[in-house]
């Protein structure tokens, strides 16, 4: 079966590529991609990215000024500072993403070339990559981005814009930086997901071979295996053979009983025709064509395992390149997500308690709008972290599948090869981080959630203390004014009484 995984991989991201090229996210030649489905460096593309960055930033500033009007000075200085930081963090992230895209454009093209070569090698071993899944993932993420951007922008415009005219439509310009930031996050998620997909394909292929070999051995009618209790083994060997025995028992339960001859005392096993489908999957090529023969795999599986080990090593290297390309972007995105979510939660609390909300956080005045903003910002942090964590765990699972296959083969030579390869896998691990400050895994997500909760509680406590102090000052001022009025009334009464008596 002939496939073209290179074209399939690029075709799967064609929609994402066109959107990114049109809006200036990536500086590649749009004509070359449309003509040959190839990534080609382009001077015009770089100029387009720089021009788009300048135009989007200027329009965003004008739209923000028009939205806030003269309400900047009506709030406290600290509140304005935090609001300006969060508001202008979005065009800053857009600038970081675009500049990093121009700096790493050669690296990104090399990543696609290396993934294409790996796909060809895996296809030669019967491991086919379903690149159509990447297309579906990218389209779903783009639709989610469009949905959240439309809800937040249109709802804010209708709810808070006082005058509906042509100039007020400039508010929709503020959607562009946040949307382009989301597009860059989608690129990162797609690249990491492509690496994870190839890890899973190799792991699934080795698992299928192991199941096929165990299924064959369960059908084999040779001498029965010795009982584990009769073999002097140490702890590790007992554990290995116990796992192997449990796997065989599971397959025995799932396998229908063999047909036997009613007039014979032994089982009759006949060879199967060449090419017949007997349910052994990819293990078919390593098994004898006659069921009466005991399988001896020996060196026939070595080339496949060595190729998988080299592919694993290459995928880890590609993952490191992707991590270097997007480390700064992910660090800035996580910082923005932490600050923005904490501030939005706090001002949402202020809105629910009938307190004044600053103009820069007006979205918190509408509960559903504020909730949509929080969910959208959180997803842009959670999805990359989750994908990176799953890719890391799937890369570690390759060593487990290797040893599972060795247990299924149960040959000394295979054990030696797998032990040697597993050491290589152990010394070459994949990890994703944000410039080395923290790893992009579930522990980081837990830490960010805890930090948001802690700071939110602190802000609410300060708010309650300020309200109590304000109420106390109001009470004291009221008492002082009452006392002063009483004194004045007493003085006036005394004076009038004296005047009348005189």
Residue 253: inside a domain, yes or no?
no
How far apart CA 185 and CA 326 sit, in angstroms, is 9
Q: What is the pLDDT of residue 48?
A: 93
Q: Is residue 283 included in any domain, yes or no?
A: no
Q: Which residues contact 436 (CB under 8 A, 6 or more apart)?
A: 327
Query: Residue 107: CB partners within 8 Å, gap ≥ 6?
Result: 321, 324, 325
What is the reported pLDDT for 126?
Answer: 85
pLDDT higher than threshold 80 for residue 42: yes
Q: How many CB atoms sit inside 10 A of residue 371's CB?
A: 15
In-domain check, residue 425: yes
So what's the pLDDT on residue 68? 66
pLDDT band at 496; cut points 50, 70, 90: low
What's the chain's average pLDDT?
79
Per-residue confidence band for 188, with pLDDT thresholds at 50, 70 and 90: very high
- In this predicted structure, the answer to whether residue 223 has a pLDDT above a threshold of 50 is no
**End-to-end Cα distance, the chain:** 125
C-alpha–C-alpha distance, residues 190 and 83, integer Å = 32
pLDDT category of residue 260 using cuts at 50, 70 and 90: very low
Residue 2: what pLDDT?
A: 37
- Distant-in-sequence, close-in-space partners of 134: CB < 8 Å, separation ≥ 6: 9, 12, 13, 190, 193, 194, 197
> For residues 374 and 218, which has the higher predicted lDDT (pLDDT)?
374
Could you give the CA distance from residue 138 to residue 131 in angstroms, rounded to a whole number? 11
Residues in CB range of 174: below 8 A, 6 or more apart: 60, 63, 64, 67, 90, 153
Contact 171, 66 (CB under 8 A): yes
pLDDT tier at 497, thresholds 50, 70, 90: low
Q: Check pLDDT > 90 for residue 326.
A: yes
- Span of 56-70, 134-148, 323-337 with lowest mean pLDDT: 56-70
* Residue 4 clears pLDDT 60, i.e. is over it: no
Residue 275 lies in a domain: no
In a domain, 418, yes or no: yes
* Residue 239 Cα distances to 117, 246, 253, 411, angstroms: 39, 11, 21, 16
> Does position 33 have pLDDT exceeding 80, yes or no?
yes
Q: How confident is the model at residue 3 (pLDDT cuts 50, 70, 90)?
A: very low
Alpha helical stretches, state H, 220-263:
235-254
Tell me whether residue 466 is in a domain. Answer: no
Q: Which residue has the higher pLDDT, 72 or 94?
A: 94
Q: Tell me phi and psi for residue 163, to 5 degrees.
A: -120, 125
Cβ atoms of 329 and 184 closer than 8 Å = yes
Which among 205-209, 354-358, 481-485 has the top mean pLDDT? Answer: 205-209
Q: What is the pLDDT of residue 418?
A: 84
Q: Tell whether the model's pLDDT for residue 94 goes beyond 70.
A: yes
pLDDT at 5 over 90: no
- What's residue 259's pLDDT? 47
pLDDT category of residue 472 using cuts at 50, 70 and 90: low
| pLDDT for residue 212 is more than 80 | yes
What DSSP character marks residue 273? P
Whether 325 has a pLDDT exceeding 60, the answer reads: yes
354 pLDDT exceeds 80?
Answer: yes
Does residue 221 register a pLDDT over 50?
A: no
Summarize pLDDT for 410-452 with one digit per residue, the tens: 777 778 888 888 888 887 888 899 998 999 999 999 999 999 9
Instruction: Name the least confident of 26-30, 96-100, 257-261.
Output: 257-261
Range of the structural domain that residue 418 is part of: 9-222+296-440
Q: Is residue 469 part of a domain?
A: no
Has residue 168 got a pLDDT over 80? no
41 forms beta bridges with 28
Rounded Cα distance between 442 and 391, Å, is 12
Short-list 196, 184, 69, CA closest to 134: 196
Predicted confidence at residue 72, as pLDDT, reads 53
Give the rounded percent of residues in the chain with a pLDDT score beyond 90. 32
**Is the residue at 231 inside a domain?**
no
Q: What tens digit of pLDDT does each residue of 122-154 get? A: 888 888 888 888 999 999 999 999 999 999 888
Domain count, the chain: 1
pLDDT confidence of 406, banded at 50, 70, 90?
confident
CA distance 243 to 263: 36
Q: Assign 235 a pLDDT band (cuts: 50, 70, 90).
A: very low
CA neighbor of 205 nearest in space, from 129, 267, 153 = 129
CB atoms within 10 A of CB 64: 19
Residue 191 has pLDDT above 90, yes or no: yes
- Report how far apart, in Å, the C-alpha atoms of 131 and of each of 114, 200, 410, 430 are: 15, 13, 35, 22
- Binned at pLDDT 50, 70 and 90, residue 277 comes out as very low
Measured in residues, the chain has a length of 502
Contacts of 175 (CB under 8 A, 6+ apart): 149, 152, 153
Q: Above 80 in pLDDT, residue 323? A: yes
Asked if residues 9 and 193 have their Cβ atoms less than 8 Å apart, the reply is: no
Which one has a higher pLDDT value, 498 or 372? Answer: 372
Confidence category of residue 275, pLDDT binned at 50, 70, 90: very low
Reduce the DSSP state of residue 433 to 3 states and report it: strand
**Of the listed ranges 70-84, 208-222, 411-425, 450-464, the one predicted with least confidence:** 70-84
E strands of 231-311, at which residues?
Answer: none
């Amino acid at each position: 079966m002939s496939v073209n995984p290179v074209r399939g991989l690029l075709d799967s991201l064609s929609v994402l590529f066109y959107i990114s090229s049109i809006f200036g996210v990536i500086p590649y030649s749009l004509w070359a991609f449309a003509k040959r489905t190839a990534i080609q460096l382009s001077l015009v593309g770089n100029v387009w990215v720089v021009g788009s960055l300048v135009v989007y930033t200027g329009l965003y500033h004008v739209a923000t000024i028009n939205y806030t009007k003269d309400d900047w000075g009506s709030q406290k200085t600290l509140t304005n500072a935090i609001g300006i930081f969060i508001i202008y963090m979005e065009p800053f992230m857009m600038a970081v993403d675009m500049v990093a895209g121009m700096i790493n454009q050669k690296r990104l093209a090399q990543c696609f070339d290396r993934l294409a070569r790996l796909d060809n090698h895996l296809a030669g071993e019967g491991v086919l990559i379903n690149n159509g899944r990447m297309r579906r993932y990218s389209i779903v993420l783009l639709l989610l981005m469009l949905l959240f951007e439309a809800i937040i922008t249109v709802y804010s415009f209708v709810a808070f814009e006082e005058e509906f005219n042509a100039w007020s439509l400039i508010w929709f310009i503020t959607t562009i930086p946040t949307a382009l930031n989301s597009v860059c996050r989608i690129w990162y998620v797609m690249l990491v997901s492509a690496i994870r997909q190839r890890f899973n394909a190799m792991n699934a292929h080795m698992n299928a071979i192991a199941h096929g070999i165990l299924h064959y051995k369960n059908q084999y009618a040779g001498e029965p295996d010795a009982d584990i209790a009769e073999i002097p083994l140490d702890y590790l060997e007992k554990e290995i053979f116990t796992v192997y025995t449990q796997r065989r028992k599971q397959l025995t339960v799932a396998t229908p009983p063999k047909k036997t001859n009613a007039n014979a005392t032994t089982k009759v096993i006949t060879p199967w025709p060449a090419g017949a489908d007997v349910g052994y999957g990819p293990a078919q090529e390593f098994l004898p064509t006659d069921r009466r023969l005991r399988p001896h795999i020996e060196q026939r599986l070595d080339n496949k395992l060595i190729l998988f080990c080299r592919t694993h090593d290459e995928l880890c290297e590609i993952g490191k390149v992707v991590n270097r390309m997007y480390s700064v972007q992910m660090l800035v995105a996580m910082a923005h997500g932490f600050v923005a979510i904490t501030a939005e939660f706090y001002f949402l609390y202020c809105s629910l308690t009938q307190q004044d909300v600053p103009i820069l956080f007006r979205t918190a005045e509408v509960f559903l709008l504020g909730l949509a903003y929080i969910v959208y910002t959180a997803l842009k942090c959670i999805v990359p972290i989750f994908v990176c964590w799953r890719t890391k765990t799937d890369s570690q699972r390759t060593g487990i599948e290797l040893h599972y296959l060795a247990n299924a083969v149960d040959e000394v030579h295979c054990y030696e090869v797998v032990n040697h390869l597993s050491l290589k896998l152990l010394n070459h691990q994949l990890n994703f981080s944000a410039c080395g400050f923290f790893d992009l895994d579930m522990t980081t997500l837990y830490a960010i959630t805890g930090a948001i909760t802690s700071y939110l509680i602190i802000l609410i406590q300060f708010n309650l203390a300020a309200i109590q102090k304000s109420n106390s000052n109001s009470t004291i001022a009221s008492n002082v004014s009452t006392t002063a009025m009483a004194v004045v009334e007493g003085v006036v009464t005394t004076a009038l009484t004296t005047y009348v008596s005189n």
